[in-house]
Amino acid sequence: MNWLLITIAVSIAGITFALNAASPGHEQLLDHDVLFVFAHPDDESMFFGPTVDFVSRRRHGGVHLLCLSNGNADGLGAIRAKEIVEAASRYKIPASNVHVVEDPKLQDGMRNTWSTTAVASAVGSAIESAKSAGRSISLVITFDGYGISGHANHRACHRGVIDYAREHRGLRVYTLDSVNILRKYWTLLDATFTYLTYRWGSERRVVVCADHRAQARIRDAMVEAHKSQMVWYRQIWISLSRYMSTNSLRREL
């Protein structure tokens, strides 16, 4: 029985690995420009990589990245701000679509409580900047309420985006599902849950799967662009984390 379960899990993982696709309802991600809102340079690849790659390959020039800090907790903010622009280029996202915020109210750190108003203001500024360039953003993708790792800055992204969207009707918000630690690091186990979710997707829930080529691009952005962050535990994340191959998104607004 155990071997049967392992075989099924491996088979489903193989299917997931082979697909560069999204579940039913993925059209919601492609009909207008998309703004990804996250906390630190490298979040776009470390967590949202499959979706960033999927959308950017299908909607050229229609992906915008809003990074709410330059990740200066270790004094590397100036370097990391340049690295995210380089990472964006790996997804064919122009530098003009990358916004890195430097605000005293939005400083990198687990103990730093971010102003929800400041986050919402940054979201509005990014949307207006795109509008002035002739682009229309109607969809925002960000962390869910837990923020994958529970990081205070990730959770603040969620609060600020939701606050902004509630004041601006018509703006849709999808959030990236947080999963338990087994699913986070055991891709074979997660593949089973992901496959079932994929089969019953809807416009309120979308699963994006990265094939081996997409995963290579995401890995390249992490390793080659975000070089200052290549510490040992990032290597473990790249090798084991489900977020390098799979994103499950849920529509909140």
Residues in the chain where the model's pLDDT stays below 70: 1-25, 191-192, 195, 197-203
**pTM score of the predicted model:** 0.91
Q: Which CATH class is domain 2-251?
A: alpha beta
pLDDT at res. 18: 45
pLDDT at res. 17: 47
pLDDT at res. 195: 66
Name the residue among 199, 159, 195, 189 with its Cα closest to residue 175: 159
What contacts 24+ positions apart, CB below 8 Å, involve 72-75? 72/107, 72/108, 73/107, 73/108, 73/109
Give the residue extent of every domain in the chain: 2-251
